[in-house]
Chains A and B, each alone.
Chain A
């Protein structure tokens, strides 16, 4: 994995030795550009990633991902898998998941976290009265059995391979506090009970959210974690303000959107460290396989050979992240399988593929189809993102040089997603998908996910539909054995590289910068940087 880290100045050796012992106390000041609409992460309006990030210190999940992307038990005492017997395939085609709950686990009000809370969470998520954002996985649960308060057995009516992500990487809801509440409103503006190292203290809309140390944190240990007394997240309007605040030592940590010169700018701040790593978002070129000229796979592959992805990474991102050769990400071991490696800029390949598809070059070296039509490409992306502007300009130049007639269309994000890509009003689109930990790609490539009138919902913007691929996607999502699922996923990767509904470009760089006084930060491969927040501390 490619990582860029930096430190504006050296820390004095003697001080560092003394400072290496975590200290208790102090307020850490974080900054982010986005404010969540509500805090309840289970609701549709709480489905944004910023809600998940900001509420992480208030939650303990059953299992958690560490900084290397490996599953670790948290509320559960083990990570249940097929290999350790925690997951079983049932004769009726279903599955069950069994684990024990850590008996030390309590809510911030001292009540024990038990199997009843998991049962209550399942019932709440499935209650049609509540505006739940996603019921994926939960809708397959038939029963949550509690043999004892700390013994859990979840029975699913069919195999569900992404069970760790969809069911166990979730935080339970406190039955004793929410059983009689209106779930659509009760946790919108404040979280009343916490299972994490911090408790909610206040939210001044438009300004800040304040969390305080949970004095009853069940994993406090002999050290009395968490070390920090207060964690304040302020909402800044843009990256420039955040960088200024970091430089003025008015912010202890900032998360930034990628930009060409960002690492150099952060490196110039003497009092801060930073970390740039390939993030969970992957930038891609989406081909509209439903309309001319990219309804022909040979033309899609020709266009892929016309694009120099290495140059994009070198010029636009100054090498902050490498080229991406898969629709999955390298941290998704063992599913990741790079199958797009052969797509390097090669005009000979462009000529060969186009000729095979019945195209010839005219006097101006532009491709013309047999009926005289030009190879016109409407290349579209979102406004307000300088990286994307640079990227489409480079891609348009490369396609034009290869004989395609390229037009760039920049549109506002809401129009781009609401009207352009979903309705197929493009030939080639540049944007990103966010990849979770699970390798499921059914939402992207299934025929059923093609957006259609009147609602135009569905994420298959490629308009890509192959029934045999649908079967492969479904089989991969049902396979509980990791190795067998990896084989199915790799087979799928080969098909996608040949069919070319999308050309992966690079993982969006995830940039985190923090003040030297903030210690214990271990950036996470999936952008979940608060995963070990109970170990953070502030040097004097």
Chain B
């Protein structure tokens, strides 16, 4: 067996163990929470909670319940929502596009902005422009995303009052199909998510770029008379992108958690909002599925990030 294959198998076994442990912990945490039957009994007169408990198997020991859930999940059956009586897997699939669209768009915006700002700031290292931009990023990173969201909503309302027309909406899915309304609806949530990401990524990339520009390789290239632009983009940026890619890949893994606040504030029916609704309704089935799905995506994203980083920067493999 080659060393490479051995390495891959070891990573896969480690990932599976992590997932198993994470799912068991999440299962336990969800099940020790407030009794879902109490909420259901409170909201619906006359429902037979004993029958419900028997239907969902909550009258059996926890280890048995966990193994059943795990077995079903491995076969692709994520169970039935207590709240809606729908197939939990279909509910998750239905909500995924919104979360992916939000996450994808915000990452593209954030990545482009971060690279441009980091290149600009690293070229002006320790000058006033660099200090202003870096300071702004620190401030932006310190702001909670819900505060950013509320501030942007307030600005949108002021703009409507000022101009008499809606420039961007403060939430909700488009009323009718069409690109313009889609942009008007998604502009603010994408901006909020992107701002949070830019605040972290830009400083990270700037710092790596500064180091890379002082590295032996770049200094040697500069000595060979390569133009500064080519040095920065062709050499320094390429080296610095490897750790950033890891960061971005990890962000994909935490997509559900990241969009939770934004989807809630901007009334978007994504996975984050489904998680909030399920938690509020004590829908343990859907809650458990989404959180475990989040854990799965983090593990997969981490493995993908490692592979991508090794490809971008050959030093990592060696």
Contact = CB atoms under 8 A, between A and B. Distances in A.
B191 to A, nearest CB: 16
A237 B264 contact: yes
B41 A418 contact: yes
Contacts of B265: 237, 241
B166 interface: yes
Contact of B38 (A46, A188, A234, A414): A414
Given A131-B48, A236-B267, A244-B157, A417 B171 contact: no
B269 A207 contact: yes
A211 B276 CA distance: 26
B34 A185 contact: no
B266 to A, nearest CB: 8
B43 interface: yes
A436 to B, nearest CB: 12
B232 interface: no
Contacts of A207: 172-173, 269
A208 interface: yes
Nearest to A132: B46
B318 interface: no
A249 B46 contact: no
Contact of B86 (A132, A134, A189): A189
B44 A457 contact: no
Contacts of A208: 173
B267 A237 contact: yes
A13 B38 CA distance: 54
Contacts of A37: 83-85, 281
A189 B166 CA distance: 34
A133 B156 CA distance: 44
Given A44-B47, A45-B44, A205-B91, A188 B85 contact: yes
B175 interface: yes
A294 interface: no
**Residue from B42, B83, B150, B273 having most chain A Cβ neighbours under 10 A:** B42
A206 B274 contact: yes
A296 interface: no
Interface string B16-47: 00000000000000000011001111111111
A234 B38 CA distance: 28
Nearest to B263: A237
B170 interface: yes
A205 B267 contact: no
A248 B41 contact: no
A135 B84 contact: no
A206 B166 contact: no
Contacts, number: 125
B47 A205 contact: no
Contacts of B274: 206
Nearest to B41: A457
Interface string A237-265: 10011001101111000000000000000
A82 interface: no
A245 B172 contact: yes
Interface residues of A, number: 45
Given A44-B44, A133-B47, A418-B35, A248 B95 contact: no
Chain B, interface size category, equals 35 or more
Contacts of B166: 248-250
Interface string B38-64: 111111111111110000000000000
Given A206-B95, A206-B277, A247-B157, A44 B267 contact: no
A414 B34 contact: yes
B131 interface: no
A210 B186 CA distance: 22
Contacts of B44: 44-48, 133
A419 B277 contact: no
Nearest to A45: B44
A494 B166 CA distance: 57
A38 B85 contact: yes
Interface string A440-462: 00000000000000010100000
Given A45-B44, A47-B45, A244 B171 contact: yes
A415 interface: yes
Contact of A244 (B46, B85, B153): B153
B282 interface: yes
B171 A236 contact: yes
B169 A248 contact: yes
Interface centre among A46, A134, A189, A237 (most CB of B within 10 A): A237
Nearest to A47: B44
Interface in B193-226: none
Given A206-B95, A241-B171, A134 B38 contact: no
Given A47-B44, A245-B170, A234 B281 contact: no
A234 B42 contact: no
B170 A418 contact: no
A236 B265 CA distance: 9
B171 A48 contact: no
Interface in B289-305: none
Contacts of A419: 38
Given A206-B95, A414-B282, 9 more contacts: A48-B44, A131-B48, A134-B45, A234-B267, A237-B265, A245-B172, A414-B34, A414-B35, A414-B38
Interface of A: 27, 29, 35, 37-38, 44-48, 131-135, 185, 188-189, 204-208, 232, 234-237, 240-241, 244-245, 247-250, 412-415, 417-419, 455, 457
Interface of B: 34-35, 38-51, 83-86, 91, 94-95, 150, 153, 156-157, 160, 166, 169-173, 175, 264-267, 269-270, 273-274, 276-277, 281-282
Closest 4 CB pairs of A and B: A418-B38, A206-B269, A44-B47, A207-B269
